[in-house]
Amino acid sequence: MKRKKLWGGRFDSSNAEITERISASIDFDARLYRQDISGSIAHASMLEKIGVLTHEEHRKIVQGLNEILSEIEEGNFEFVRSLEDVHMNIEYALTQKIGDVGKKLHTARSRNDQVTLDLRLYIRDECTEIRMLLETLIAELVKKAETHLEVIMPAYTHMQVAQPVRFSHHMLAHAWALVRDMKRLDDANSSSMVLPLGVGACTGVNYPNDREFLKEKLGFLSISPNSMDTVSDRDYVLDFLYFAAVLGMHLSRMAEELVLWSTSEFAFVRLSDAVTTGSSIMPQKRNPDVAELIRGKSGRLYGNLISLMVTLKGLPLTYNRDMQEDKEPLFDSVDTIKLCIEGMMEMIVSMEVKEEAMRVAVFSNYSTATDLADYLAQKGVPFREAHEIVGSIVKYCENNKIDFFSLTPSDLKSFSDVFGDDAVSVLNPAFSTERKLSRGGTSLREVKYQIDLIKKIILRRE
Amino acid sequence: MKRKKLWGGRFDSSNAEITERISASIDFDARLYRQDISGSIAHASMLEKIGVLTHEEHRKIVQGLNEILSEIEEGNFEFVRSLEDVHMNIEYALTQKIGDVGKKLHTARSRNDQVTLDLRLYIRDECTEIRMLLETLIAELVKKAETHLEVIMPAYTHMQVAQPVRFSHHMLAHAWALVRDMKRLDDANSSSMVLPLGVGACTGVNYPNDREFLKEKLGFLSISPNSMDTVSDRDYVLDFLYFAAVLGMHLSRMAEELVLWSTSEFAFVRLSDAVTTGSSIMPQKRNPDVAELIRGKSGRLYGNLISLMVTLKGLPLTYNRDMQEDKEPLFDSVDTIKLCIEGMMEMIVSMEVKEEAMRVAVFSNYSTATDLADYLAQKGVPFREAHEIVGSIVKYCENNKIDFFSLTPSDLKSFSDVFGDDAVSVLNPAFSTERKLSRGGTSLREVKYQIDLIKKIILRRE
Amino acid sequence: MKRKKLWGGRFDSSNAEITERISASIDFDARLYRQDISGSIAHASMLEKIGVLTHEEHRKIVQGLNEILSEIEEGNFEFVRSLEDVHMNIEYALTQKIGDVGKKLHTARSRNDQVTLDLRLYIRDECTEIRMLLETLIAELVKKAETHLEVIMPAYTHMQVAQPVRFSHHMLAHAWALVRDMKRLDDANSSSMVLPLGVGACTGVNYPNDREFLKEKLGFLSISPNSMDTVSDRDYVLDFLYFAAVLGMHLSRMAEELVLWSTSEFAFVRLSDAVTTGSSIMPQKRNPDVAELIRGKSGRLYGNLISLMVTLKGLPLTYNRDMQEDKEPLFDSVDTIKLCIEGMMEMIVSMEVKEEAMRVAVFSNYSTATDLADYLAQKGVPFREAHEIVGSIVKYCENNKIDFFSLTPSDLKSFSDVFGDDAVSVLNPAFSTERKLSRGGTSLREVKYQIDLIKKIILRRE
Amino acid sequence: MKRKKLWGGRFDSSNAEITERISASIDFDARLYRQDISGSIAHASMLEKIGVLTHEEHRKIVQGLNEILSEIEEGNFEFVRSLEDVHMNIEYALTQKIGDVGKKLHTARSRNDQVTLDLRLYIRDECTEIRMLLETLIAELVKKAETHLEVIMPAYTHMQVAQPVRFSHHMLAHAWALVRDMKRLDDANSSSMVLPLGVGACTGVNYPNDREFLKEKLGFLSISPNSMDTVSDRDYVLDFLYFAAVLGMHLSRMAEELVLWSTSEFAFVRLSDAVTTGSSIMPQKRNPDVAELIRGKSGRLYGNLISLMVTLKGLPLTYNRDMQEDKEPLFDSVDTIKLCIEGMMEMIVSMEVKEEAMRVAVFSNYSTATDLADYLAQKGVPFREAHEIVGSIVKYCENNKIDFFSLTPSDLKSFSDVFGDDAVSVLNPAFSTERKLSRGGTSLREVKYQIDLIKKIILRRE
């Protein structure tokens, strides 16, 4: 039995079956039930305040909505596709429950302001959760850095060994990117914290709505200033999708490194059994699936952002039904980003750092060539010349298949008489990191400074 | 109770709960059960042929698989997340059902070739369905053209009235775009018709697999020539996603026009009640929601394409777990494109063409100005000059707020003495279309030629 | 004659010609010359401060750089492709000009921190310009609103006439979207205001760089905290590209409306000759090309964002040459967004508002149906019922081809006896807007409030 | 001095300066001059054939156009922005040169069919060039395979050593992906090979255009069947952009491997000095910049595709000025893809394969574990059990830090008494590849078969 549409007044015949299939959103927007009910309760209170509802009507509506909330949370509520969306499903259930007074709830609002309200509240709720996850991930990276302060590894540029660096410094590099993501998350959150409710379908309502009251009641920061813009605007969803896409990009870079470091060729870390899987065919395999999936999921995070941007392109004001397409990408990005943060956290926490492999890599790849050039530069050789001299030394070593540590002082002097006997000590990677003393460098002092700084940032915001 | 992973030999401890959540694909890949079972039956037959399975083993496996197929189709099969994916769920059920012989089925194949087999079969199956839908939509556009052969409306460029055109010609313009989409669909289909099964995990298998047999059995067109490429390749999925994105773009253009034409300002068509919806707040509204949703869904179709392209970017050979991200965008694009075609079909079939409104529009907007310029050009005035003369006539009409039909022969002659008394007849839109006689023009003869041509294309391919 | 590469020490043979073609960036990064020279001057001052350069060396370098700046600005400088990029071109010219002391400039920095410095300074400079343009566009929208405060038009949802609205309110709706864009622009600007210089290639430098000094000298807000992150990070470019993409989306929506409103069917505005063009073939055409191009350019703004996001996906730390691909999308988005704002401004300033056409549209499309339903609701009819009653009235009018203004009080009463004699006055659109009194509504009071608010926002920030 | 627009008849005032800046395309579409002139010559011949031009007029026009062609190719032609685009620039020059007869050239065509003609011809010309480049790259991969037929390396799945494979097989895997790209290129080419000329602005022309003649003259495969669709359609540009994006994806995967293989950790190849660059700061660096840039340029190739797809989304028929945005992404993708193919070719041709490093990697990572499991399976152990047994052997080896080659027959027997004395020989990677005998496997026979096959494909098409 088909329930009558709530907007059917002027229609002669009912919708085609395909219309229902293409337009019903209840399969995905049911997820907004909590926000929808909160919004309706606030709206009912406002209607009472301005005299549209009596005290008793208000009481009944609130009680009815709370009962529906419980039913949904306990799994005793059936969402029906012919009622289109979460708003209609709940309103219909309310009227079934408390009678005609339920129909008064929709006074002085429209689905256009209601749906954007729900979505804004949803984003706020999810931002809170995601922020906690992000902070925890940053904290785990910092902890990993702290427990491995002395481990030295190669820093790479162009995937070629560049210079010695602390493993802790490398972990913190990722942490700082995530700190920027927290900023973008906060921006997305405040984008969403503007009250839309009370503008009706697009031009305002024929009632003295108290939007200041609604703002306070629902915890928004400000009130949307223009009714047409209010129902047209999905910037706040884009801001969230953008945050998620950039975070996904950062996580894809971390994941890429974990995949690389887990190869037998690098062998810089051993991911735990908890986050690796085997092969159905190759018994020796330990695959870094979680890292790969996180890397791969950047695709859908980008796709979700593009998806909504395309939908909004070229739409005239105000609400157009195209905008219903805002929800699925949002929900998918929320779910994906939470999975990815949790997966990354599990890997970071449980991974074993193979200090010896890192040590070998940093000692055998001329990682201190820059230090040697700087040695010359500090003795007055123009840097460009020093660079050329050290280039020749590297070529000499390569041709003779030796590393820097086989070079004697006299070997060095044969390339430039500026080299003193102390020059060979410059070649030691362990000393190299300690020369990086200015802000942001990889010396122990500076790494500790970073750790303090980042802890303050996380703590301050909690 | 947790089922043992099928690859657990060398692992000390089990997976973290997040690992299962992020990596299990059964929630979406269960959709491939039919293809998975077909592939397994073909594989079992091949294994019998090369002597790996006895006749009896083969019989048991095939029977078991068919029973599982029935159970799934009847809703009596429970997919379990701890068994990760559709392949493992079915194999596990098979072994539960027929004992150890079930374990032999996975001989000489790997999940890497199995999953790409399933996906290729899935695309083939869906292409068949989608092709039929597309042909039907094209047929409906042609039918609409045929039943309105004489209706004349403005053709627009830059959304400004350009020249008179037959409504049928306009319908056919969209049909031809869809004919190109059929070509892209066929291309995607043949991309997928290359047998991957039999290459194992990445280098081939240690068995004399008869891939020619598999190809015939499963109805593929050719055999993948390189094992590494076979398990790395997702081009065929991209080809489908690209087809769907371009089709989505075409449908967004048709939808845009239906939205425009349904405005009270254009009022060129009236969409049926079956595909329009009302407003919960504004009683007069008849909203073209289906058209809007189709227009908006171009976003997700683009997003799905980008999503997989991003996932594949920069992946080294061969299979990487990132590639599990190929399925959800594919499934979503399949579902979306079917919805969109069906929705468009419903609108086209049931829409009412408002001939009078079209007539008014084409008569009142100087739509025959080009014809007038061509009149002069054919009498020897260089076209650029003729263009200027007619430009002045239009300006004159605008300033005097009259349309072309108020102009007398002597009015025209005051702008150029090349105008004869017959010039005013050129201003009639109804004659204008009949002058467009060369191939592709909007004259009746040419429109009928198009209709014949397009019918042959659809019929030939059926 | 080929100039020697500045990094050639260990290389036996020179680059292939394709290497130069694919990797040289001078064709596009020459645009950064001003920022590169500013950065170098600041760096030289810092080197003097920490004793790496003598006073005289510093003087020579600064003078040399300033001379190069003048030469470039006067068009007397030849950028050479074999010198790869803007940094190398300027450094080479410096050394040609002042001799070996020029080679000292690159002490304690690397191209990795230099290039991100230049880009950050560039974004800052452009943000300033773009902000002024945005403010001016907002101011023009406000001015248009102010000069047409009393004009009433239909507000549309789903492109169907919804309710009467002030034209000024509609203009302000777009202005508010741009206010959000200013926020995103400011966010992008502050993302870029972090000093990268002084971290060297990736781990810090072997010199006591005074980064605090550099920060002050160059006007940055803070210092990048981690050297590896510093050279890996392009978030600030993404933030700008995202800002530009969303602004482009907003402008595409405004442009879409201008295109629609310029059709002969709507005819709500007449764009000036200054921003419309004709057809080479159709003499009557006045095409809104500027609006169309702005709408179309959303494509490249989206494409530029995706482009860099894809490039960064899955890159391991730290600098990889892939990141050279950050510049062209940035430059293109900067140029595009400036063109689009200027084009939109020209259209808004010069467009003629056709009040009468708007009036006709709002009076003939049952735009006050909601007001009528609210009339009933305020007399105690549950809104859902009121909605149905008015739906029937609309159907009645449509069937009889009359508009609301032909209805008599007794006509209304035949649908519901709640209607009083005053009900017909509710049908007047001119009264409808004045009932929208709550915050954000389209009543005159509220529109004026918005204008004040938006003026304060622009003034405060100037 | 400003030249008069060719469409200015009805306009009172001239365009704003921003209108010219935003709408002029001559800065980028000048590139189409050759195609524009070819098209115009064919059009002139057709006009002569149908009697619109006399023999003498035709001769003058063709001669004039050929002179302009020479002037442009010799650098003696000045393109002027106020003339907007390549079409107007050439037509204006023609009229300057041969007088009023030049104005007749534009009879029976419009810029709408002219511009899509030029673009189609351009794509055809570029497809020919790109196809040759692609074939050469494939040929080089095949040659690399042929000269290293015996080299064995690890195949990876999930970046973990999977099984032994021939290096030649790996090279061919990439070659096969490129063969698919050739197919997509051919598809894009045939998409573009449909004659658009002769449909005028959108509805056909008032002349008996001989489009069959034009088709033959210009070498197209068929004639566009519908005038409105003809000027609206940019599918053929999308098809090219899609081809380029997927090829870019494939190249990014090859590039990723070259970057990985060039690390000191893998050291599987040494890229030549011709395609690597140094660091301005670190003297030891040899960076694989060309590989990185190719990997990074996938971003712009994706961005270009998305860019045009977004522009076309939701556009009503027929030509809208938005579509001018089709050219720059196309030109950029053409240039980029050629650079990338050439860069990849240079790397492949000149790279040194380090056989010993590959050998070490394949011998030390349990790469034959699957072979060992298959050994058991072929002796009757169900594969799933065999997998577990070998899993335990790997764990034993890892715990004891030994590789497979230290295992004695009795070691093996302690895990399963099915192992015979011949089992140890299974552990040799050199034997493993030869067991992969079915189609697509990595045995020598099958690799040679692939080489023959791919050579036939390239030769057949040449």
Residues C158-171 have pLDDT tens digits of 999 999 999 999 99
A382, pLDDT greater than 90: no
Under the banding of pLDDT at 50, 70 and 90, the label for residue A49 is very high
Q: Quick one: tokens of A28?
A: 């995905």
Closest CA to C249 of A121, A114, A317: A317
Name the residue facing A256 among C224, C315, C319 (closest C-beta): C315
Q: Say what the pLDDT of residue A10 is.
A: 67
Q: Rounded to whole angstroms, how far apart are CA atoms D331 and D79? A: 18
Please answer yes or no on whether C283 and B259 come within 8 Å at the CB atom. no
* Full set of structural domains in chain D with CATH: 16-107 (1.10.275.10), 112-360 (1.20.200.10)
Q: Rounded to whole angstroms, how far apart are CA atoms C136 and C348? A: 11
Closest CA to B293 of B242, B348, B353, B337: B337
- Cβ atoms of D373 and D383 within 8 Å: the answer is yes
Single out the catalytic residue among C23, C279, C364, C406.
Answer: C279
3-state secondary structure string across chain D: CCCCCCCCCCCCCCCCHHHHHHHCCHHHHHHHHHHHHHHHHHHHHHHHHCCCCCHHHHHHHHHHHHHHHHHHHCCCCCCCHHHCCHHHHHHHHHHHHHHHHHHHHHCCCCHHHHHHHHHHHHHHHHHHHHHHHHHHHHHHHHHHHHHCCCCEEEEEECCEEEEEEEHHHHHHHHHHHHHHHHHHHHHHHHHHCEECCCCCCCCCCCCCCCHHHHHHHHCCCEECCCHHHHHHCCHHHHHHHHHHHHHHHHHHHHHHHHHHHCCCCCCCEECCHHHCECCCCCCCCCECHHHHHHHHHHHHHHHHHHHHHHHHCCCCCCCCHHHHHHHHHHHHHHHHHHHHHHHHHHHHHHCEECHHHHHHHHHCCCCCHHHHHHHHHHCCCCHHHHHHHHHHHHHHHHHCCCCHHHCCHHHHHCCCCCCCCCHHHHCCHHHHHHHCCCCCCCCHHHHHHHHHHHHHHHHHHC
Distance from CA of B294 to the nearest CA of A (A): 8
Query: What pLDDT digit, counting tens, does each position of C61-83 carry?
Result: 999 999 999 999 999 999 998 89
Q: What angle do CA C364, A196, C174 make, to 5 degrees?
A: 60
Please answer yes or no on whether C228 and A253 come within 8 Å at the CB atom. no
Go through D247-262 and write b for each residue having 16 or more CB atoms within 10 A of its CB, e for each that does not. bbbbbbbbbbbbbbbb
From residue C115, alpha-carbon distances to A120, C28, C323, D286 in Å are 39, 13, 10, 20
Q: Say what the pLDDT of residue A392 is.
A: 92
Chain D residues close to A281, C-beta within 8 Å: 370, 373, 387
Name the residue facing A284 among D287, D306, D369 (closest C-beta): D369
At residue C355, what are phi and psi to the nearest 5 degrees?
A: -60, -40
Please answer yes or no on whether B158 and D321 come within 8 Å at the CB atom. yes
Q: Say what the pLDDT of residue C9 is.
A: 67
Closest CA to C395 of A205, B278, B265: B278
Percent of chain B with pLDDT over 90: 86
Q: Quick one: tokens of D213?
A: 């003649």
Q: Which chains touch C (3 or more CB pairs under 8 A)?
A: A, B, D
Query: What pLDDT digit, counting tens, does each position of B159-192 carry?
Result: 999 999 999 999 999 999 999 999 999 999 999 9
Q: Residue C452: helix, strand or coil by DSSP?
A: helix
**What are the helix (H) ranges across B148-220?**
167-192, 211-218
Q: How many CB atoms lie within 10 A of CB A216?
A: 12
Residue B9 Cα to chain centre, angstroms? 45
Task: Give the DSSP per-residue string, B400-411.
Answer: TT--GGG--HHH
Please answer yes or no on whether A388 and C8 come within 8 Å at the CB atom. yes
Please answer yes or no on whether A392 and C10 come within 8 Å at the CB atom. yes
Of the residues B284, B356, B384, B388, the best mutation for testing chain C's interface (the one with the most C CB atoms within 10 Å of its CB) is: B284
Q: Rounded to whole angstroms, how far apart are CA atoms D196 and C300? A: 26
Please answer yes or no on whether D315 and B253 come within 8 Å at the CB atom. yes
Please answer yes or no on whether D321 and C293 come within 8 Å at the CB atom. yes
Cα-atom radius of gyration of chain B, to the nearest Å? 30
Query: What pLDDT digit, counting tens, does each position of C228-272 carry?
Result: 999 999 999 999 999 999 999 999 999 999 999 999 999 999 999
Please answer yes or no on whether A384 and C106 come within 8 Å at the CB atom. yes
Distance from CA of A187 to the nearest CA of B (A): 24
**β-strand partners of C163:** C155
Segment C109-131 mean pLDDT: 97
D395: exposed, middle or buried (C-beta count within 10 Å: 0-12, 13-18, 19+)?
Answer: middle
Angle in degrees, 0-180, between the axes of helices C289-312 and D327-350, rounded to the nearest 10: 20
Q: Rounded to whole angstroms, how far apart are CA atoms D180 and D197? A: 31
- Cβ atoms of D63 and D103 within 8 Å: the answer is no
Cα-atom radius of gyration of chain D, to the nearest Å? 30
Please answer yes or no on whether C307 and D299 come within 8 Å at the CB atom. yes
Query: What pLDDT digit, counting tens, does each position of C4-17 carry?
Result: 566 666 677 778 88
Query: Tokens 């039943």, residue?
Result: B147
Segment C133-158 mean pLDDT: 97
Q: How many CB atoms lie within 10 A of CB A20?
A: 15
Please answer yes or no on whether A203 and C107 come within 8 Å at the CB atom. no
Q: Rounded to whole angstroms, how far apart are CA atoms B319 and B324? A: 10
B248, pLDDT greater than 90: yes
Active-site amino acid positions of A: 158, 279
C2, pLDDT greater than 50: no
Q: Say what the pLDDT of residue B8 is.
A: 65
**β-strand partners of D223:** D195
- Cβ atoms of D61 and D240 within 8 Å: the answer is no
Chain D residues close to A370, C-beta within 8 Å: 281-283
From residue C392, alpha-carbon distances to A12, B120, B430, B440, C397 in Å are 10, 53, 40, 47, 9
Distance from CA of D369 to the nearest CA of C (A): 30
Please answer yes or no on whether A203 and C169 come within 8 Å at the CB atom. yes
To the nearest whole number, what is the mean pLDDT of chain B?
94
Q: Rounded to whole angstroms, how far apart are CA atoms B402 and B344? A: 39
Name the residue facing A13 among B274, B289, B308 (closest C-beta): B274
Closest CA to C282 of D18, B165, D89: B165
C100: exposed, middle or buried (C-beta count within 10 Å: 0-12, 13-18, 19+)?
Answer: exposed
Q: Say what the pLDDT of residue C1 is.
A: 36
Q: Say what the pLDDT of residue B10 is.
A: 66
Q: Quick one: tokens of A151?
A: 């481990």
Contacts of C410 (CB under 8 A, 6+ apart): none
The DSSP letter of residue A282 is -
Q: How many CB atoms lie within 10 A of CB A98?
A: 19
Chain B residues close to D104, C-beta within 8 Å: 382-383
Task: Give the DSSP per-residue string, A93-146.
Answer: HHHHHHGGGGGGGGTT--HHHHHHHHHHHHHHHHHHHHHHHHHHHHHHHHHHHH
Strands A160-166 and A152-157: antiparallel
B16: exposed, middle or buried (C-beta count within 10 Å: 0-12, 13-18, 19+)?
Answer: buried
Active-site amino acid positions of B: 158, 279
Q: Quick one: tokens of B28?
A: 């979406």
Nearest-Cα residue of chain C relative to residue D8: C278
Q: Which chains touch D (3 or more CB pairs under 8 A)?
A: A, B, C
Q: Rounded to whole angstroms, how far apart are CA atoms B295 and B251? A: 7
Q: Quick one: tokens of A252?
A: 């894809």
At residue C391, what are phi and psi to the nearest 5 degrees?
A: -55, -45
The DSSP letter of residue C31 is G
Q: Say what the pLDDT of residue D1 is.
A: 36
Residue C364 Cα to chain centre, angstroms? 37
Name the residue facing A303 among B7, B14, B303 (closest C-beta): B303
Name the residue facing B159 among C161, C259, C280 (closest C-beta): C259
To the nearest whole number, what is the mean pLDDT of chain A?
94
Task: Give the DSSP per-residue string, B319-337.
Answer: --GGGGGGHHHHHHHHHHH
Closest CA to D114 of D32, D223, D174, D52: D32
Single out the catalytic residue among D14, D23, D70, D279.
Answer: D279
Distance from CA of D387 to the nearest CA of A (A): 5
D33, pLDDT greater than 90: yes
Return the C-alpha torsion angle B82, B84, B89, B90, nearest 10: -170
A230: exposed, middle or buried (C-beta count within 10 Å: 0-12, 13-18, 19+)?
Answer: buried
Return the C-alpha torsion angle D131, D137, D143, D144, nearest 10: -160
Chain A residues close to B276, C-beta within 8 Å: 11
Q: Which chains touch A (3 or more CB pairs under 8 A)?
A: B, C, D
Percent of chain C with pLDDT over 70: 97
Segment A208-212 mean pLDDT: 97
D389, pLDDT greater than 70: yes
Q: Rounded to whole angstroms, how far apart are CA atoms C245 and C299? A: 9
- Higher-confidence residue of D183 and D82: namely D183
Closest CA to B284 of C260, C403, A105: C403
Q: Note the residue count of chain B.
A: 462
Distance from CA of A7 to the nearest CA of B (A): 5
Nearest-Cα residue of chain A relative to residue C399: A10
Of the residues B227, B260, B306, B330, the best mutation for testing chain A's interface (the one with the most A CB atoms within 10 Å of its CB) is: B306
The DSSP letter of residue B274 is G
Q: What is the C-alpha end-to-end distance of chain A, expressed in Å? A: 52
Please answer yes or no on whether A199 and C441 come within 8 Å at the CB atom. yes
Q: Residue C82: helix, strand or coil by DSSP?
A: helix
Q: Say what the pLDDT of residue D100 is.
A: 87
Query: What pLDDT digit, counting tens, does each position of D327-384 carry?
Result: 999 999 999 999 999 999 999 999 999 999 999 999 989 999 999 999 998 898 888 7
Q: Say what the pLDDT of residue B441 is.
A: 97
Chain B residues close to A265, C-beta within 8 Å: none
Task: Establish, for the pair of chains A and D, how many residue pairs have beta carbons separated by less than 8 Å.
Answer: 130
Distance from CA of D405 to the nearest CA of C (A): 34
Please answer yes or no on whether A159 and D260 come within 8 Å at the CB atom. yes
Q: Say what the pLDDT of residue B1 is.
A: 36
Query: What pLDDT digit, counting tens, does each position of A86-109 carry?
Result: 999 999 999 999 998 998 898 899
